[in-house]
Each structure stands twice: as structure tokens, then as C-alpha cells.
Amino acid sequence: MPCDRVVLKFNRRSPISIVEKCVATQVKPVRSSDCPSDEPPAERRYFARQPILDARRRVYAYELLFRSGPEVVFRGDGDHATRTMLDTTVLYGVEELTGGPPAFVNCTMDALTGRLVDVLLPGSTVLEILETLEPTPGLIATCRNLKTLGFRIALDDFDWKQGIEPLVEIADYIKFDFLQHDRTARQALLDRLSRYSHTLLAEKIETQGEYEAASAEGFTLFQGYYFCRPALLEARQIPGNKIMQLEILREVHKDPMDLHKVSQLVRRDAAITYRLLRLVNSPACAIRQEVRSVELAMIAIGEQAFRRIATLSIASALNSDQPAEILLMALARARFCELAAGRCRLDPTEQYLLGLLSLLPAMLRVPMQDALSALPLRREIREALTGVHNKERSLLDWIEAAECGDWPRCDAVAQSKTLHEKELQHCAAEARIWADRTLRSAQ
């Protein structure tokens, strides 16, 4: 099988600033030389993260998935495990990998009893006990000791089995595969667990209906991409202010851009004006004199930088009624598609817009075709956004698979499109960190 996988590879240089990334006037095509090549294949870090949301649809934590081989769990085999997962977290910290929230990390028996997890930061890490582990006295004693160090414990894919009760007493989180049991079986397990103190987490929640059912049953944390698939309202009219924002987006991406027309449109939308001026006047842009008008903002930072910041402002406004994680994913997709576009001989600016617009239905709760009606996009880009697997969609296909840690699908997409795995992996890592920092700056 080809090795086209997500690689988390950073060098030791200082973090790239928002002004270098968010306001960059050009994006150079990614070349093999752009990616560090001094790392042996065995040390590549294949990485994905899946959001865990609370009942208010805010990110509570991320589950980190590492692939150092065919499996996607933290393997406890000494130096190799340290070089793949532990070395990454030690060098860059859980906060860098998650953007701030805690990390749930799958652990095998060797990782726990061999105390390889001791290098992780207890206050920021939740150790997941895999369902395949037997509740031996050694495992129970290790978990108790890790709790005293400040780690939190989660039982993954929970089912009641002989000897599990001591681990249930220790656990802070109980994770249920929501699709593995029907409602009756889940209720029986929940009744049995009712006398213990822990937080219930429902996994594999992919639809709004599943989220509502899990919430009604007493779950308070939810893992899955249901928030990216809200119930679409076929007959819904896009609100007037959203139409205005799409109109601004259309004008911003015309070439050449009509500065006067764009400034007049932006001034008619208070939310966009506020976001735009706040970003332009932030330390990230390093403008020495305060900018108080849209026209001055466009002149001060230049057309290309204005396009980038205006697009970010518009996306933030479009997503104002939805979970912030949607916008974060859209930004990461956009940046990834932009960075990797040169490898596929695609237009970086167009690819950035493609990634950003890929979650437009989740932002507006309308079908993609309705959302695209206000945007003058090429036919191939429209087709890519509506699901046609053409050349323009190849990078979007890859990053969608990477978001879920679906490594075989990443391999298949890269192989079918003759994409270079090392470049894709590097771009995905860069895009994820850039999106975290950019959203924090925008907020």
C-alpha cells in the first residue's frame, strides 16, 4: 500500500506569524524541497484530530489520531512510539496540536504500564483505555497512579464485561459507540452506570437526529461530524444579510477587483466592516497608523492581502450562527488546498476559495446549489463543490479523508490523482496550525 498519509512534521523555527500567512500576497507552489527531507520514513508522524463538542456545540476537546503504521492508535513499542507520538507532543505541546482544548489519546497496554505517557502534560491530556484491553490488576493500578498524577481517564467503546467495575470507578469519561447498540441496549448500560460519577460521551454521531437522541438519553459530549451536516432547509430563503455577504465575496474575487464597488458594498454590512477593520488594525497586520475606513484598509494592505482578510471576515460572518468548528475546518481546508495547489497545477486562489466554500451548506443550512447561485464560479469549481470528483476537487477529497483519519481513503485519492504524499502531509499540518492561529486572531 502506498504511504500517502497525514504527516505532522514541523521544524524548530519560530512559528510563522499571522501577517506572513494571513496577509501573504502570494502563495508559492509547494515543492519537495519545501518539506524537510532529513526525517527517515519510519519517523513520519501521521496525524488527524476529531472534534468533541459539548451540548452547546462548542469544542470541548479533540481526539488525536496518529498513524505510524497500519493502525491508528498510540503503539507502545519503545523508541518508535516516542518518535511518532510522544516526540511530537513534547516538541510542540498538546496546545499546539489542538489549538488549546484538551487532547484525548488512544493508549495500548504497553503505553500505559510502560509509563510512556508520563511525558505528556496531565492537565491537557485524557488517556483513552481501548476496549480491547483486559482490566487486569496491573492496568487498574497503573490507571489509579496516572489519576494521582493529574491525568483523566476515558473508557473507549464501552461495554460491560467481567472485571470492568474498578476501571469504571476510576474513569472520568465513558465513551459509547452510539451505533453499536440500539436504544434499549444503551439504556440498560446507562442504568447500570447511573451510580457512578463520570461524563458520558457519544461517538459516531453523524446526523442531527442522532445528536438529539443522544442528548435525550443523557450524553453531554458528542464526537462526530453531525455539526457539519445540519438539517438543510430546501425551501429556505437565504437571509438578506447573507446574500449581501455572498455578493461581497463575489466582487472580492473578481479580477480586477473594483475597489470602489467593493468598498461601497462592505460599508453597507456592519458585521463585515467591523470584522475587517478589527483584523486590519490587529497586531498581526502591523499597520502603524489606525485604519478607520474600508478604502484606507484596502490601500494600506494592498489588494491581495485585502482579498484574504475580506474573505476571512465574510466567512466569519456567514458562520456566525453555527459552531465555530465549522469555520475552523473551512479555513484549514482552504489553506491546505491553496498550499498544495501548485503540485497539481491548480490555481492557488481558486483552490483557497473552493476549500472555504466546501462547508457553505453547513454555514447557511441551504443546499449547495442554492448557496452557489450568487457566486460566479467556473463550471468545474461548481461541479467540485456539488460532489463531482474532477481534477479541481482532488485536494478537497484528500483533506476530507484526512479530517476523519481515513488513511486508506487518503492513500486511494493520492494514488489515483498521482499526488505526492510528502507534500500533502506537510501542507495539511501547516494548514491546521495556520487555521487555529488565524481564527484566534479573527476572534
Each residue's pLDDT tens digit in the chain (443 positions)?
333 332 222 232 333 233 333 333 333 333 333 333 334 333 445 677 899 999 999 999 999 877 654 444 454 443 344 345 665 666 556 777 788 899 998 887 888 887 778 878 898 999 999 888 999 999 999 999 999 999 999 999 999 989 999 999 999 999 999 988 889 999 999 999 999 989 999 999 999 899 999 999 999 999 999 998 877 766 566 777 788 888 888 888 887 888 888 888 888 888 778 877 877 777 666 676 777 777 887 777 777 777 887 888 888 888 888 899 999 999 999 999 999 998 888 999 899 999 999 999 999 888 898 888 878 788 999 999 999 999 999 999 999 999 988 888 998 999 888 888 878 888 998 898 889 888 876 66
Amino acid at position 52, single letter: I
303 contact partners, CB below 8 Å, separation of at least 6: 257, 259
Check: CATH 3.30.110.30 for 18-228?
no
Taking the domains of the chain in order of start, what are their residue ranges?
18-228, 240-442
| The pLDDT value given to residue 69 | 47
pLDDT of residue 17: 33
pLDDT of residue 109: 83
Residue 11's nearest CA partner among 442, 439, 410, 426 is 426
Location of C-alpha cell 453531554: 220
Q: What is the structure's pLDDT at 296? A: 80
Report pTM.
0.78
For residue range 397-412, list pLDDT tens digits in order: 999 999 988 888 998 9
pLDDT confidence of residue 406 = 86
- Hey, what CATH topology would domain 240-442 get? Hypothetical protein af1432 (1.10.3210)
Express each pLDDT in 68-88 by its tens digit.
544 444 544 433 443 456 656
Per-residue pLDDT at 202: 96
Beta carbons of 371 and 360 less than 8 angstroms apart: yes
What secondary structure does DSSP assign to 384-416, as a single string?
Answer: HHTT---GGGHHHHHHHHHHTT-HHHHHHHHHH
pLDDT at 236: 63
CB burial of 319-357 (b: ≥16 within 10 Å; e: otherwise) equals beebbbbbbbbbbbbbbbbbbbbbbbebbbbbbbbbbbb
